[in-house]
Structure 1
Amino acid sequence: MMRWTWGKRVVCAAIAVTGLACVPAPAGADLTAPPGLDLASILGTPSLPGIYGPDTAVVVLGYGLTPEGTMRDELVRRLRAGLAQAVFAPWSPIIVTGGNPRAGRSEADAMAGWLVDAGVDERRILRESEADSTVANARNTAAMLVEKGLRSVVLVTSEDHIARARGAFADAGVSVVGDLTPDRTQWDSVPLYLGRFGPVPSVR
């Protein structure tokens, strides 16, 4: 049986996010695409999430809940992009940031619950449940990074929000090494389930 390295597992998990299977090819297999199969037209040209280490957190910014405390579609799209990033960076902790509680539930709590249901180990998720604005998202996350000994972040939010978010985080002294949006991943229609993939980061 072929032994797969962690590197191969990371790549295969990333490929799985696109909806494709990743298994060792049998010896002598013909790996050319069948006639008429255009993977580019099937997958589009999504931006690939980056690969980062345990000092970089994946930060998913909240979005207003309904009065009943449920998540709106745009917040689910942000979470799906964040999950894609989490697959590519299995050692990175995930920070969900957002307060504005509705029906006794904060945005961060709703996001954390969604990620756990998607297979993310709860110990990997850090909740910031007090922010009521993008500026507060940045300020509170900056304090959490210092507390947890983290150095940088990858921001995940909507395309029309990313520039403002990057500015707010820069003003808060946070090193933003990358960003991802649902519009750039183009995977929000693919069913995702992370399962028990990769190690659980050691978060202080």
Structure 2
Amino acid sequence: MSRSARSCVVAGAFLFAFIGAGTAETVKLGRPALPEEIKAWDIDVRPDGLGLPEGKGSVSQGEALFQSNCAACHGEFGEGAGRWPVLAGGQGTLKSERPEKTIGSFWPNTSTVYDYVHRAMPFGAAQTLQPDEVYAIVAYLLYLNDVVPDDYVLSKENFPTVQLPNEANFYDDDRETTEKAFWNANPCMKQCKPKVEITSHAAVLDVTPDAGKDGDKPTGGVE
């Protein structure tokens, strides 16, 4: 028997065994997740505070933690360093040509802040902060955005009472009712317009690099 024929026989036997196992009542792969394993993944926090751990943290504690864990990227006062995200300020800019989408100007709920800090920060060392440290950092971020005073202590108990300025402008997705009349069952897929026109440039969003010293064209954006 040739090597290729032998390989086919082996592959066929493996496929038959796999199909036979799939038709049984159970595949018998893996095991039920342990409670501590589920707990390690179940870390989301709802706006009403469900999912929060016990703990608390003050604005002053958060300032010290922010400077040592966050300021290198986000600036000492949340103003952003380089092109890292800006976290504070931006109120009143959402309708402008260049909106500043910060915690105080755009984010919907305090739970969004806590969940993200807990889940993904500090950059490169995610989920290393203890609950009290996360509460403190969130308290400091709220203070930077003029949401709480400088002596505020954020805790599991008072967490649901904190409201971000832009919370009221978020609503459930209602496109199925408000936009359904505009849906087209047969959308145009080609030659829909006599010509294509550029209506905006990436430079407006500050993502197009400046031209080089020798007049070279930018390497990104819309031309």
Shorter-chain TM-score: what band? under 0.3
Alignment TM-score, normalising by the size of structure 2: 0.24
Q: Identify the structure with the greater strand proportion.
A: 1
Bigger radius of gyration among the two = 2
Higher relative contact order at CA 8 Å, sep ≥6: structure 1 or structure 2? 1
Alignment TM-score, normalising by the size of structure 1: 0.26
